[in-house]
Each structure stands twice: as structure tokens, then as C-alpha cells.
Amino acid sequence: GEKMDFIDLNSQYNRIKTAVDERIQKVLDNSAYIMGKEVYELEAKLAEYVGREYCLSCSNGTDAMVIPLMALDVKEKDAFYVSSFTFFASAEVVELVGGTPVFIDSDETYNLDPAHLELMINKTIQEGELTPRGIIAVDIFGLVADYEAIEKIAQKYDLFLLSDAAQSFGGSRYGKKSCSFGDVATTSFFPAKPLGCYGDGGAIFTDDEELYKVMESIRVHGQGETKYDNVRIGINGRLDTIQAAVLLEKMNILDAERETKLNIAKIYTERLKENYCVPTFPENCESALAQYTILTKNAEHREKVIAYMESKNIPIMTYYRYPMHMQKAFAYLNYKDSDLPVAEDYSKRAISIPIHAYLTEQDINLICQELNKIAE
């Protein structure tokens, strides 16, 4: 048979085709391709959706983190505590602004482990080489991290908290939406994300007016009162109007798509829990289900499962085959494999299976049936 889609953007487009085409056509007719009115309309809608004062749209999820960090005036010996089991960008941005990342292990939800975080902050203080400055907590696979614990730690040690919600947009924790946590929260609109555009895009959320104004300046080359009055160093970080137009239409189906995915996740959990370690979804948390990730028995078993599923035309993704502390780019920090055992374990055993709102019952049955067959 034909290979199944890991994420079916085509079916999604067909669902909203008329509306999306009209939105894009309007932008083409008005020819305000950069910072057109749709950009401001989107920012207002996003801020209202997550329940924050300010939203600043930007070029991508990485720049969404670079912009607030640039606003902080980071020094070389400033330590930022980052999840190790995540995408490279979350630590890359620390280096880009001149700070030093310190990697934190994961808990049973794949998210940053608050206990290990506090341990590492104390270690930094004792060693006296670096100055604790900030935390970058990442919401892995769509699940909002444990911000009650993380925010407490941030306050206790007076640290800037950035919530990297690239994977969790639409999700929530105790009724509070993803992106409503931290001094700043950021997200990505990369096409495969829970809310994705047709290119690159991102957004930054905050309740701090002063910070918002600085970030707004940084987004466009550090501009002051006018376009040619540059008061600080910035970047070219704008979201283009066509992407804003697409996102405005996609927001209309975001919650409905998530409901569908949550139902699929329930079926997966029920049918796969005998043979795999299924994800932990804490009570009162609604994941955005960017991915549905399970653990195989070991690295060898994982390769067998992947090869078998591929032979059945079912796509399997493995995210973070190397935890960040073992990436070549960070070799100078001298981490060892064993320093973050949980992240290390996940990177050897985790696989993600298709979860999107357009899977058929037949698809779901096939995925479960074949996964169980190879496991046994």
C-alpha cells in the first residue's frame, strides 16, 4: 500500500482550502507582504487565546527565543538551564546571545525535571564559575512542563524563565494555556507544529510592557522612533503577512483538531500499554499532542521496530537521537553520557508514531496491530 503520512498537511489544507485561499488572495491583492494588517490581527488573536497581555509574532521559533534573550544583555558566564532531551535550538539560542547552557535531565513526562534543575543551580553556585541567569523549560511533545515547580525555583534563585512552547501550542495545564507561563513564552509555527503555517514563523508572549517594547524594537533591527533610528542591535525577525493569513484560518480548527488527537491518544494508550512504555499525561493537563511518543525495550529493539514498521509503510520518527549534552557542538562543555541518565535512556528508546487529526480508523488499527505484532 501507499506510505501513510506522519503528519497529513494535505487533508488539513483541504478542510480549510476555501478560507485559506481567500485569505492569501487578499494579501496578494493588497500587496502588504511584510507587516500587513493580518500580522497585527493575528497577534491580537494569539494573545487573547493564551491569555497574555502582549504577543509579538516573528520569523521562526528560534528567533522567538533569541529576541527576548537579546533583550536581557547576557554575559559570557551567565548560565541558562535547558532541557537536554529536546531540539538543538533551545540551547543554541543561549550560545547565540553569548551565554552558557547547563543541561538538565528529564522526568517521566519527557519534560525538564525540576528536582534536577534545582540540584544543578546549586552546583553552579557552589562551583562559582558561572552565574545562574535563566531557565529555558521546553514543553516536550506537546505537554506543558511542570511550571508550578519551575516558577517557584525561578523565583527562589531570581532567574529569568523562558517557556519554550514550540510543541505545546493549544495545550494547557490546570486550565492555564500553553504560552501563559514564564517571564516570556515562545512558540513555533513550523508546518509540523500543532499550529503551523506554510513556511517559518513564531511568536513571543509576555505580560511585561517594557520587555515587549524592547523586543518589538529588536524584531526590526533595533529600531527606535522611526525606521532609520536604530537604538540597539536587533535582528530581521518579522513574520510575513501571508503566514499570518494562513495562521488566522488555522486557528479556527486548532481546538477541534486537538480534540480528535486526544481521542486517538486514548486509543493508542489503551492498545499499546501492554508492549510499550506509553506516555504519562498528568491529571489536569491537556497535551497539544505534537507527538505521541512511546519507549521500546532498548536501542536494539527500537531499530527492529522501526525497520518493521517502515516495511509496512508506516512512518516512525525518532526525535533527539542524541540528547543535547552529547551533541558535538557542545563537546567543549565536557559532559559524559552518564551525566543525564534519563535523557540518555530516552534518546536510545523513544519512537514517535503518527498522530494527526486526519488518521482514519483503519490507519489507527493498523498502527496498533503492527506495533504489537513486532513487540511480541
What pLDDT digit, counting tens, does each position of 178-214 carry? 999 999 999 999 999 999 999 999 999 999 999 999 9
Residues 217 and 223: their CA atoms lie apart, in Å, by 5
pLDDT at 227: 79
- C-alpha 332: how far from chain center: 26
Q: Give pLDDT, residue 345.
A: 96
pLDDT given for residue 226 in this prediction: 85
pLDDT one-digit tens code per residue, 3-34: 899 999 999 999 999 999 999 999 999 999 99
Mean pLDDT, residues 134-162 taken together: 98
Say which range, 60-74, 225-239, 302-316, has the weakest mean pLDDT: 225-239
What pLDDT was estimated at residue 337? 85
In order of 109, 280, 292, 364, the CA distances from 263 in angstroms are: 19, 15, 12, 11
| pLDDT of amino acid 376 | 83
Phi-psi region of 175 (alpha: psi -120 to 50; beta: other; left: phi over 0): left
Apex 343 CA angle, 127 and 159, nearest 5: 45
pLDDT for 1 beyond 80: no
Q: Tell me the pLDDT tens digit for each residue of 209-250.
A: 999 999 999 999 999 988 789 999 999 999 999 999 999 999
pLDDT of 145: 97
- 89-125 residue pLDDT tens: 999 999 999 999 999 999 999 999 999 999 999 999 9
Pairing assessment for the beta strands 131-138 and 184-188 based on DSSP bridges: unpaired
Q: What pTM was computed for the model?
A: 0.96
**Grid cell locating 29:** 491583492
pLDDT digits (tens, 9 = 90+) for 332-368: 999 998 999 999 999 999 999 999 999 999 999 999 9
pLDDT of 165 over the 90 cut: yes
Give mean pLDDT, residues 314-329. Answer: 94
Rg (CA), the chain: 21
Interacting residues of 72 by C-beta distance below 8 A, sequence separation 6+: 97, 133, 134, 160
pLDDT of residue 2: 81
